[in-house]
């Protein structure tokens, strides 16, 4: 920094060397998603399996004001005076938000999660909930976050931003293995650290699409209780199981307070709202002896990050909740069917292009999730960003290199295919283009 100041005296401008900035800015891993979307955007005609954007066919501008009006009507019907409604919408609002009652009702209906509204914090997407939870929980340099690996880039980014080390717990074919979590926690302790929490997406994970069995969920809760470990359960995709195929969330099975639950309206409503939430009902005794849920205590952190979440966006999401009688699972049935059709189109196209003996020839394998937005396709060559760029430019189809999602290396020969925002026709065409790319790319040792 001092060099820059000297430079500035000479040239009259403050300039920075990248090395003078925090690791979160310098780390290439922090930039991977931007690079990925820029590469995909450089080829606008390519069919994109590279993002996890939700289906946008139902996004209707006229609905925004309808949702907002619905929420205002709800407030009036519940006897909130006009003056308070005006203040709620226009002024700085409560730090933890004002739609917690509606979210609490939704959690009961959709997930059988029973928590008081005070145990919920409305956040600027699940991303802010991750940042706030980690900030509150990790207190010293020896504190370590365990994370399933491969994992969602947002959690690793949040941890890096806060200088919290992340230890990978490698996922098995059916998701995170409880005994692997125990082993990782013990390793951290043996090295003098404190394993604080373990992050996972039990339902249709990003990036692998895997789902943890109910038995594994129960075992994981047992391991967490025995090891004194919290579980950060991130659940943006759980609503998109097939009818009758839903599994209980960790939070709904948790009777010991081991789970902090991260929610997002990005996929159940729309990502532009930037509304998510944190459920943290663990009791905390404050300096004055008052006992309050962790989410309420963490509001001090939120107040210094974002002051509060957008009142307009909360009202729109609140309107959606009221309109559907707090039952987003039923409200998103049609959407869930669309995603399941897209998943089926992806796997059936892969099967069509890679019948048994061609699998072996080209080293191609994929998993078949039961829902969600993603699956993983393994190939016989390095599937990095350069390969993706070549694929987008020469074959007209893009995807995400799996190596971007690995916490400690790996995934070099695998792609994440996100099929959520492609029609079934585009999926079939895209997989056919991808198959040509794969068969024309030489296998490497």
Ligand X SMILES: Cc1ncc(COP(=O)(O)O)c(C=O)c1O
Please choose, out of 251-259, 263-271, 359-367, 385-393, the segment that lies near ligand X by the rule CB under 6 A.
263-271
Closest separation in Å from C-beta 191 to ligand X: 28
Cβ atoms 310, 125 nearer than 8 A: no
Q: Counting contacts by CB under 6 A, is residue 313 touching ligand X?
A: no
Question: Cis (ω within 30 of 0) for the bond into 114?
Answer: no
Q: Counting contacts by CB under 6 A, is residue 127 touching ligand X?
A: yes
Q: Counting contacts by CB under 6 A, is residue 410 touching ligand X?
A: no
Smaller CB separation from ligand X, 43 or 152? 152
385-395 and 424-440 are packed helices; what angle lies between their axes, rounded to 10 degrees? 110
365-366, strands of its sheet edge to edge: 365-366, 374-378, 414-418, 400-401
Residue labelled with tokens 């040792």: 445
Per-residue binding string, ligand X, 92-121, x by CB under 6 A, is: ------------------------------
Per-residue binding string, ligand X, 179-198, x by CB under 6 A, is: --------------------
Q: Counting contacts by CB under 6 A, is residue 418 touching ligand X?
A: no
Give the burial string for 101-124 (b: 16+ CB within 10 Å, else e): bbbbbbbebbbebebebebbbbbb
Collect all residues with Cβ–Cβ distance below 8 Å to 126 and sequence separation of at least 6.
154, 234, 236, 262, 263, 264, 266, 276, 277
- Among 166, 169, 221, 266, contact with ligand X (rule: CB under 6 A): 266
What values do phi and psi take at 141, rounded to 5? Answer: -60, -25
Closest separation in Å from C-beta 262 to ligand X: 7
Q: Counting contacts by CB under 6 A, is residue 308 touching ligand X?
A: no
Q: Are strands 283-285 and 291-293 parallel, antiparallel or unpaired?
A: antiparallel
d(CA 366, CA 352): 13
Closest separation in Å from C-beta 386 to ligand X: 24
Closest separation in Å from C-beta 4 to ligand X: 33
Please choose, out of 26-34, 123-131, 189-197, 392-400, the segment that lies near ligand X by the rule CB under 6 A.
123-131
Smaller CB separation from ligand X, 55 or 194? 55
Closest separation in Å from C-beta 161 to ligand X: 14
Q: Counting contacts by CB under 6 A, is residue 126 touching ligand X?
A: yes
Smaller CB separation from ligand X, 135 or 428? 135
Q: Counting contacts by CB under 6 A, is residue 277 touching ligand X?
A: no
Q: Are strands 374-378 and 143-149 parallel, antiparallel or unpaired?
A: unpaired
Q: Counting contacts by CB under 6 A, is residue 52 touching ligand X?
A: yes
d(CA 278, CA 300): 14
Collect all residues with Cβ–Cβ distance below 8 Å to 256 and sequence separation of at least 6.
221, 224, 225
- Contact set with ligand X (CB under 6 A): 52, 125-127, 152, 154, 201, 206, 234, 236, 264, 266, 271, 276
């Amino acid at each position: 920094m001092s060099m820059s100041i000297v430079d500035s005296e000479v040239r009259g401008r403050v300039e920075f060397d990248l090395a003078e900035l925090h690791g979160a800015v310098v780390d290439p891993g922090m930039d991977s998603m931007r690079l990925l979307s820029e590469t995909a955007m450089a080829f606008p005609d390519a069919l994109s399996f590279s993002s996890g954007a939700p289906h946008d066919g139902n996004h209707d501008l006229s609905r925004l004001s309808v949702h907002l009006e619905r929420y205002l009507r709800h407030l009036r019907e519940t006897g909130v005076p006009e003056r308070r409604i005006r203040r709620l919408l226009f002024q700085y609002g409560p730090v933890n938000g004002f739609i917690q009652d509606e979210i609490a009702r939704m959690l009961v209906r959709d997930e059988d999660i029973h928590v008081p509204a005070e145990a919920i914090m409305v956040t600027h997407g699940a991303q802010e909930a991750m940042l706030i939870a980690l900030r509150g929980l990790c207190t010293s340099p020896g504190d370590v976050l365990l994370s399933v690996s491969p994992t969602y880039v947002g959690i690793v980014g949040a941890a890096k931003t806060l200088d919290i080390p992340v230890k990978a717990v490698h996922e098995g074919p059916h998701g995170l293995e409880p005994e692997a979590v125990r082993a990782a926690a013990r390793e951290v302790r043996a090295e003098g650290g404190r394993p604080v929490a373990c992050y996972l997406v039990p339902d249709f994970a990003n990036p692998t699409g895997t789902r943890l069995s109910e038995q594994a969920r129960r075992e994981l809760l047992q391991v967490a209780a025995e090891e004194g470990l919290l579980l950060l359960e991130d659940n943006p995709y759980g609503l998109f199981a097939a009818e009758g195929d839903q599994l209980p969330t960790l939070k709904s099975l948790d009777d010991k307070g081991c789970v902090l639950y991260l929610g997002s309206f990005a996929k159940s409503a729309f990502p532009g709202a930037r509304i998510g939430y944190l459920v943290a009902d663990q009791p905390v005794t404050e300096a004055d002896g008052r006992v309050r849920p962790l989410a309420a205590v963490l509001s001090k952190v939120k107040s210094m990050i974002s002051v509060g979440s957008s009142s307009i966006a909360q009202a729109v999401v609140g309107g959606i909740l009221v309109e559907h009688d707090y039952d987003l699972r039923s409200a998103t049935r049609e959407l869930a069917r669309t995603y399941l059709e897209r998943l089926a189109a992806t796997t059936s196209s892969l099967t069509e292009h890679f019948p048994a003996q061609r699998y072996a020839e080209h080293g191609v394998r994929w998993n078949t999730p039961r829902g969600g937005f993603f699956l993983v396709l393994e190939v016989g060559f390095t599937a990095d960003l350069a390969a993706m760029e070549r694929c987008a430019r020469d074959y007209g189809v893009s995807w995400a290199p799996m190596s971007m999602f690995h916490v400690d290396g790996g995934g070099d020969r695998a792609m994440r295919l996100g099929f959520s925002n492609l029609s079934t026709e585009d999926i079939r065409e895209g997989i056919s283009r991808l198959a040509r790319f794969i068969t024309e790319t030489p296998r490497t040792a």
